[in-house]
């Protein structure tokens, strides 16, 4: 009896020492891994606009310099925007979310993964969020990360409300100087269209202009190619023949359709007045 | 019991109380660790103080009642109480923290239920050991009386 009690006591003591040593090394290992400042890193994001979606690809790496494995790594980002109106920020709306899962990063190794965040332009149109294309907005990102360390402790870290600047691709879209001229005996309507591409992506697509008179009848329509690199202002003149000049009125509307990344936005209706006729 | 024996037991209890939790409480309080940890882990104060207090109180009682069956009963009770307090104060192995950082709310959650389970297992084994010791002590006493 005495011997067995002693054996159990010894086993408990040894097990307690091993457990405490395991916790101590685990905490120390995790601390030294995080203290390097290079445990988790993000690369330069790249933007692509295809199939009606803006994809932001963020390269991320996890460098496990510790003594134990990191497993079940899960990174989730949620993007929320609030329109900036004259009365301050509006109701926030979730526009995108993405999750990246890395099964394991063994000790002494590095894992690299691409975290892809996709903002669907189709969804923006369907959910009546077209202000994102034309106006500045407050964008926030909520980031959540979880991982299991040494298969014993699970850490979950989440940060809410990280401010991210949002640049609208068609900021300040406007038309000006609408004229109708005779070119080679053909009446041609000319309209200047301008905007600023404040987004981080290059825009390429088409701009369709529809001119409507005061009665809502279309008197001229045409399309031009659109090519606006990131963070540049685009201004171009659209020249389109007028089939029936009798339909032209001094007041009316310009209907704009912008086709980018496989999605057509529009009509964006801008009224015009004071149309100038240039007859030689 | 002689006065000398009582003094010896009290001193023995004081030394063991210092070893079994007192020194940890002194380091925690006097080195400023408590102040540093308070904003990060608000419940850390409660966990460490209550665990150390339980260990010290049980150790003093065990040392004072050495040579009686109560010391074994208290040893078993300490194993159960320490595990119960650890489980209760750590929200059964899931600790949540909120840290405001430059306008961003940072939430940290640590789930260490496997480690808590290991401590619970050790507590149960310690309890079993105490019961075995108590049974051994009682049988010896009975044998002595017979």
| A47-61 tens-digit pLDDT | 887 777 888 898 999
Task: Identify the structural domains of chain A with CATH numbers, from first to last.
Answer: 39-166 (2.60.40), 171-278 (2.60.40.10)
The two counts, helices (H) then strands (E), for chain A are: 3, 17
| Other C-beta atoms lying within 10 Å of the C-beta of residue A176 | 12
Cβ contacts below 8 Å, chain A against chain B, sum to 69
Q: Of A164, A63, A48, A138, which is closest to residue A107 (Cα–Cα)?
A: A63
Share above pLDDT 90 across residues of chain A, in percent, rounded to a whole number: 23
Cα nearest neighbour of A161 on chain B: B104
Domain count, chain B: 1
Cα nearest neighbour of A1 on chain B: B136
User: B76 lies in which domain range?
Assistant: 3-145
What would the pLDDT profile of A92-103 be if each residue is shown by its tens digit? Answer: 788 889 999 999
What pLDDT, on the 0 to 100 scale, is given for residue A146?
94
C-alpha dist (Å) from residue A84 to A90, A165, A245, A265: 6, 12, 42, 21
Tell me which of B11-15, B45-49, B112-116 is least confident. B45-49
Of A12, A23, A160, the CB nearest to B125: A12
What would the pLDDT profile of A181-215 be if each residue is shown by its tens digit? Answer: 888 878 888 888 888 988 888 888 888 988 888 88
- Spatial distance between the Cα atoms of A191 and A178, rounded to a whole number of angstroms: 4
Tell me which of A1-10, A39-48, A187-196, B29-38 is least confident. B29-38
Of B111, B119, B125, the CB nearest to A154: B111
Q: Is the pLDDT of residue A231 over 60?
A: yes
- Spatial distance between the Cα atoms of B50 and B85, rounded to a whole number of angstroms: 8
Q: Is the pLDDT of residue B115 over 60?
A: yes
- Spatial distance between the Cα atoms of B119 and B90, rounded to a whole number of angstroms: 13
Q: Is the pLDDT of residue A22 over 70?
A: yes
Cβ distance of A159 and B115 shorter than 8 Å: no
Helix (H, G, I), strand (E, B) or coil at A68: coil
Contact A137, A73 (CB under 8 A): no
Measured in angstroms, the CA of A122 and the nearest CA of chain B are apart by 31
- Spatial distance between the Cα atoms of B52 and B126, rounded to a whole number of angstroms: 18
Q: Which residue has the tokens 């402790």?
A: A153
Contact A187, A242 (CB under 8 A): yes
Tell me, yes or no, if B144 comes closer than 8 A to chain A by beta carbon.
no
Mean pLDDT computed over A239-250: 82
What pLDDT, on the 0 to 100 scale, is given for residue A87?
54
What pLDDT, on the 0 to 100 scale, is given for residue A70?
94
Cβ distance of B114 and A5 shorter than 8 Å: no
What pLDDT, on the 0 to 100 scale, is given for residue A141?
87
C-alpha dist (Å) from residue A266 to A122, A236, A241: 12, 18, 22
- Spatial distance between the Cα atoms of A184 and A270, rounded to a whole number of angstroms: 29
H or E stretch at A248: none
Question: For strand A232-241 and strand A218-228, is the pairing parallel, antiparallel, or unpaired?
Answer: unpaired
What pLDDT, on the 0 to 100 scale, is given for residue A101?
94
What pLDDT, on the 0 to 100 scale, is given for residue A111?
92
ipTM: 0.78
Of A5, A155, A158, the CB nearest to B129: A5
Of A19, A23, A159, the CB nearest to B106: A159
Q: Is the pLDDT of residue B146 over 70?
A: no
Q: Which residue has the tokens 């189709």?
A: A122
Question: Which residues of A fall within a CB distance of 8 Å from B101?
Answer: 159
What would the pLDDT profile of A60-93 be if each residue is shown by its tens digit? Answer: 999 999 999 999 999 999 988 876 655 555 677 8
């Amino acid at each position: 009896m005495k011997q067995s009690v002693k054996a159990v006591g010894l086993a408990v003591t040894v097990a307690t020492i091993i457990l405490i040593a395991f916790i101590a090394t685990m905490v120390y290992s995790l601390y030294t891994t995080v203290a390097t400042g290079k445990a988790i890193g993000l690369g330069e994001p790249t933007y692509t606009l295809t199939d009606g979606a803006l994809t932001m690809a963020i390269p991320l790496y996890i460098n496990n310099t510790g003594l134990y494995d990191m497993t079940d790594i899960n990174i989730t980002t949620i993007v929320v925007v609030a329109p900036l109106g004259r009365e301050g920020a509006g109701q926030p709306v979730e526009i995108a979310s993405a999750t990246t899962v890395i099964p394991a990063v063994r000790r002494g190794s590095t894992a690299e993964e691409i975290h892809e965040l996709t903002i669907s332009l189709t969804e923006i149109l369907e959910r009546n969020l077209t202000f994102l294309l034309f106006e500045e907005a407050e964008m926030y990102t909520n980031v959540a990360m979880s991982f299991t360390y040494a298969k014993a402790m699970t850490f979950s870290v989440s940060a809410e409300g990280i401010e991210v600047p949002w640049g609208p691709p068609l900021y300040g879209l406007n038309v000006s100087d609408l004229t109708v001229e005779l070119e080679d005996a053909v009446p041609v309507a000319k309209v200047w269209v301008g905007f600023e591409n404040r987004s981080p992506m290059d825009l390429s697509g088409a701009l369709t202009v529809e001119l409507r008179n005061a009665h809502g009848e279309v008197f001229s329509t045409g399309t031009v190619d659109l090519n606006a690199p990131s963070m540049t202002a685009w201004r171009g003149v659209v020249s389109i023949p007028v089939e029936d000049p009798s339909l032209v009125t001094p007041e009316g509307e310009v209907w704009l359709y912008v086709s980018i990344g496989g999605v057509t936005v529009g009509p964006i209706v801008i009224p015009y007045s004071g149309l100038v006729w240039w007859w030689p | 019991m002689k006065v000398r024996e009582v003094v010896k037991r009290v001193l023995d209890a004081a030394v063991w109380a210092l070893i079994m939790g007192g020194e940890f409480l002194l380091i925690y309080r006097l080195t400023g660790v408590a102040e540093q940890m308070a904003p990060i882990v608000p419940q850390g104060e409660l966990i460490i103080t209550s665990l150390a207090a339980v260990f010290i109180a049980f150790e003093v009682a065990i040392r004072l009642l050495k040579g009686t069956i109560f010391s074994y009963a208290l040893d078993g009770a300490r194993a159960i109480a320490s595990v119960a307090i650890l489980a209760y104060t750590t929200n059964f192995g899931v600790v949540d923290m909120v840290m405001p950082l430059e306008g961003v709310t940072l939430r940290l959650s640590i789930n260490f239920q496997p480690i808590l389970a290991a401590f619970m297992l050790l507590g149960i084994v310690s309890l079993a050991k105490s019961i075995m010791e108590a049974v051994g002590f009682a049988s010896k006493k009975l044998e002595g009386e017979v």
